[in-house]
Chain A
Amino acid sequence: MTSTLHRLVKVVSLALLVGLGATAIAETDAPAGKAVEGSAKANALKSCVRPTDWMRRNHMELIEHQRDLTVRQGVRVQKDSLANCIDCHARHDDKGQPVPVTAKGEFCQGCHGFVAAKPSCFQCHSTVPSSADTAQR
């Protein structure tokens, strides 16, 4: 009886340990992907348009707020616009081509994939900087 209990505790703690390990690995993997790395403009900047930890939690409020102002009233402040996010956070590959922010491991996908929340922005909005999408046409 006691030995069975003992074994059970052992198994459970092992499972917990494995679980914790997995989380730790996933966490180092996930946040913001290769977000502020190398060829993204954001790499050269000290912080985002607001303090970074505020942005992590609230970027969607900012984007949604300006979205209504832009569509309804024509207010297109560059700083808080989605276009500015993409301009700043899209990386460029070795050939200088922009990598979509929704590609695996890139800025938007990195976190959103981790938390399994699909941003619906990109059903309509461009995933590469404006300079690149003009060239596409």
Chain B
Amino acid sequence: MSKSKGQTDMDRRTFMGLTVGAAATLVAPGVFLHSIAQAGDREQPVTDKVRWGMLVDTSKCANGCSACVDACKTENGLSNHGRPATDPTWIRKVKVRDNFTGRETNLPLMCQHCEFPPCVDVCPTGASFKRADGIVMVDRHVCIGCRYCMMACPYKARSFIHEDIEIKPTNAPRGKGCVESCNLCVHRLDNGQAMTACAEACAKAGHNALVFGDLKDPNSPVSQALKQLPSRQIRADLQLSTGVRYSGI
């Protein structure tokens, strides 16, 4: 009896040794990563010195224009099956009408990149998360597709992928069974391009209704625009401190 116990201990010690060995190899690439991390932004972890955000100037958003929506689809390879109820939508056009005055306002609505995101609060797996630079996104490696986050989001910003995806862009890997939403073109930002596809397309169409940038940098285009224009958060009553703000509503 005692002999077999001794053997077990030996085995465990060998096992522990092996485990530590394995951990060392695992850590090694990480150490390596940091030693060459000086080369460029691409190789540095993001920090909270930046908070990405956007101002939507609804007075400039044109009726019938869908430049931002189309650009998002192209950029992220969002395929359309002609089934609007389930097709993925990261950004959509909304028209609001004041029934008393009859005034109509157009605006694009997407993930508002909340500082206190309810989608992250409810996610049971930790797949929904907020990056240090304020981007709220889904880690599809961990998402189990429960869709709690879709229920929690007050902006109806998230989509569940119901169908197999034929074209999977290298920039935006995506697949069936996960929830996804606007990630402020995170691949562009990580590559040092501080401009989203939607804002770029809006400017190209001549409307300039979307101003993107770093909310923490007082000189960024978005901070400058926010200083000039009166703006508000949609559903400010929820106190989510959104990264996307609207003026003219």
Contact A74/B29 with A124-B140, A125-B168 known, Cβ cut-off 8 Å:
no
Which among B25, B129, B191 is the interface contact of A72 at CB below 8 angstroms? B129
* Chain A interface mostly: helix
For chain B residues 166-201, which have a beta carbon within 8 Å of chain A?
A: 167-171, 173-176, 178, 186, 189-191
* B110-124 with Cβ < 8 A to chain A: none
On whether A61 and B168 interact (CB within 8 A), knowing A74-B190, A124-B140, the answer reads no
Asked, given contacts A71-B141, A126-B173, whether A133 binds B33 with beta carbons under 8 Å apart, the answer is: no
The interface stretch among B3-11, B38-46, B146-154, B235-243 is B38-46
In the complex, per-residue mask of B131-164: 1 if CB is within 8 Å of any chain A CB, else 0: 1110001011100000000000000000000000
Complex: chain B residue closest to A54, CB-CB: B25
Classify chain A: how many residues form its interface, as a range.
Answer: 20 to 34
Say yes or no for A65: interface residue by CB 8 A criterion: yes
Mark each residue of chain B from 90 to 105: 1 if its CB lies under 8 Å from any CB of chain A, else 0.
0000000000000000
From B30, B140, B165, B189, A65 is in contact (CB under 8 Å) with: B30
Q: A80 in the interface, Cβ–Cβ < 8 Å?
A: yes
Q: How many CB-defined contacts (below 8 Å) exist between A and B?
A: 87
Q: Does A23 have its Cβ within 8 Å of any Cβ on chain B?
A: no
Q: A65-B30, A73-B45 are in contact. Are A133 and B173 (CB under 8 A)?
A: no
| Residue contact A61 to B26, C-beta cutoff 8 Å | yes
- Taking the complex as formed, is A58 at the interface, i.e. its CB lies under 8 A from any CB of chain B? yes
Which residue from chain B places its CB closest to the CB of A127 in the assembled complex? Answer: B168
Known: A71-B141, A73-B132, A133-B169. 10 other contacts (CB 8 A): A71-B139, A74-B186, A74-B189, A75-B33, A75-B45, A129-B170, A130-B169, A130-B171, A133-B170, A137-B169
In the complex the two chains form, is B33's CB within 8 Å of A124's CB?
Answer: no
Asked if A134 lies at the interface with its beta carbon under 8 angstroms from chain B, I say yes
Cα distance A125–B29 when bound, in Å?
Answer: 22
A77 to B40, CA, bound (A): 9
Across the interface, do A126 and B170 meet the contact criterion of CB distance under 8 Å? Answer: yes
Residues of B within 8 A of A74 (CB): 44-46, 131, 133, 186, 189-190
Asked if A72 meets B173 with Cβ closer than 8 Å, knowing A58-B25, A124-B168, A126-B168, the reply is: no
Is A109 in the interface zone, CB < 8 Å from B?
no
Q: Report B93 CB to chain A, min CB distance, Å.
A: 21
A86 close to chain B: CB less than 8 A: yes
Chain B: which residue is nearest A123 at the CB level?
B175
Check if B220 is an interface residue, CB within 8 A of chain A.
no
A83: which of B133, B170, B186 is its contact (CB, 8 Å)?
B170
B85 adjacent to chain A (CB < 8 Å): no
Whether the Cβ atoms of B29 and A80 lie closer than 8 Å is: yes
Minimum distance in angstroms from B173 CB to a CB of chain A: 4
A-side contacts of B168, CB under 8 Å = 122, 124-127, 133
Q: Would you call B42 and A76 a contact (CB within 8 A)?
A: yes
Collect the chain A residues with CB atoms within 8 Å of residue B45's CB.
69, 73-75
Q: Establish whether residues A69 and B33, one from each chain, have CB atoms under 8 Å apart when the complex forms.
A: yes
